[in-house]
Chains A and B, each alone.
Chain A
Amino acid sequence: MFFKTEAQVHFVDTKTPDIETDAMLDIILSPAFYWVKRRKLPVRFIREAKKLAPSVFDDTLPEGEYSYTAYKEGEEYLLFAYNDKAILDQLLNKGIKPSQINRVYFAQSEFDRIDHPVAISTSHVLGLHDGIVVKLPAALSEQASPIDLSWHKCSSHTVDLARYAHIADRQSVIRFGSFMAVLTLLFLIELAIVGDKTKAIEAEQAGLFAKYDLKSTMMQNEAILKRLQSRYEEQEALRADLLAITSLKLGDGEHLLRLSREGNALKATWEVATSQRANVLASQLTKSGLAFKHQYRDGQLSVEVVR
């Protein structure tokens, strides 16, 4: 209901004058635009009847490209053959653009219940003959009433005109659509595979936490790592400093008096005879890469490592 387009209903015959309107149109095509046959067919469904339509109209139709449609009426099928391009060209000649066409009907489905002829122009009428709506010369009918579509309620038997063949024919649309569908499907398959792989990676990550007995958040683990790394670096630095201090080449009478580490302060004191020797020892320590402050007083060289 919300998507139904309100369109004007127009009957179109080959002799219909041009239509000057920009409104959307529901078109009822005169029998001049199509061929119709009524048949009893050994099929159950309309789509099967449509497949048989070309053979039913074999030898009936003039040269050209035709589309077929059908619907069931009682025990019989009404089969239709029509030339899309010819119809659209005719409609265009009468001022009806393909974009204006809302729905298309055949006169057969719209006038199959008339009880008297209907005048469609000054020269022709629509009448019923053996249940088939036919276009007759007006002279053959005296009681024709003028066609009045103001109260007409269209049937459900719409006709599908190939209005977009100039953009792309059906084969091209199918080919393009199939290609795009296959590509989209491949992408979707890859999407599913990537999703699965990501889930597997996340499961592996969760497994690591259990395997290495990690804390539940990486922030906690980073903090633990930082603490341990800091302890490792501090102890390595201490060992390097102690190595430099204990590797000092002392002379006769020179010896290490005190070595202490309180908190981060590493201090060492040597008994050294002269300030010159103290300087020599200090430069040895400098060469070994130690950063320190030193002083020499009362025969003792005191060093405090600076970190």
Chain B
Amino acid sequence: MKSINPMYIALLLIAALLVTAIKLHQAKQEQYEALESLKQTEATARRITALKEQWDSPQKRTAELERLLRSGALRNAGIVREKRNNTIILDAEAIDGKSAEYLFNKLLNGSYTIKNLRLKRLDASQADLHLEVTL
């Protein structure tokens, strides 16, 4: 049997080690990218969930608005509500100032998507109100 030049053996072993080292480096790079993607996905997921909870929960907002309009402060304010597609329209002719202020505060402090509004002062204590809330 022929002897093999140990230099060839050494080169082969070094080549095998180099290839393995390169593969390992690539694998670590892939692991890093996978981890970054996971972090990004998680951050996006949490943000979407939080924003959906606040600004994209039609059923919740509808229920809250109904409770608000049925509350003691607004039950007798003469507010007419109408649902059109994904919008709730509130109309009140000659609503009293206190009720209007109460309604405004509740809507602005809540997570209601106010689309359009019109407030017209009639006199010192009354106003016409038109509000459109997107669900």
Contacts and interface: CB of A to CB of B under 8 A. Distances in A.
B51 A225 contact: yes
Query: DSSP class of B's interface residues: helix, strand, loop or mixed?
Result: helix
A52 B82 CA distance: 106
A225 B116 CA distance: 23
B49 A167 contact: no
Contacts of B121: 255-258
Interface stretch (A106-114, A119-127, A182-190): A182-190
B24 A180 contact: no
A92 interface: no
B20 A205 contact: no
Interface stretch (B9-17, B62-70, B71-79): B9-17
Contacts of A163: 3, 5
A168 B6 contact: yes
Contacts of A243: 108
B84 interface: no
A180 B48 contact: no
B39 to A, nearest CB: 10
Contact of A231 (B17, B24, B34, B55): B55
Contacts of A232: 51, 54-55
A228 B56 contact: yes
A187 B13 contact: no
B17 A263 contact: no
Interface string A66-81: 0000000000000000
A161 B3 CA distance: 7
B10 to A, nearest CB: 6
A256 B128 CA distance: 13
Contacts of A202: 34
Given A160-B3, A198-B27, A259 B56 contact: no
Given A167-B7, A201-B34, A214 B20 contact: no
Given A160-B1, A195-B27, A235-B55, A259 B114 contact: no
B108 A242 contact: yes
Interface of A: 102-103, 158, 160-164, 167-168, 172-173, 176-177, 180-181, 183-184, 187-188, 190-191, 194-195, 197-198, 201-202, 204-205, 208-209, 211-212, 214, 218, 221-222, 224-225, 228-229, 231-232, 235, 238-239, 242-243, 246, 255-263
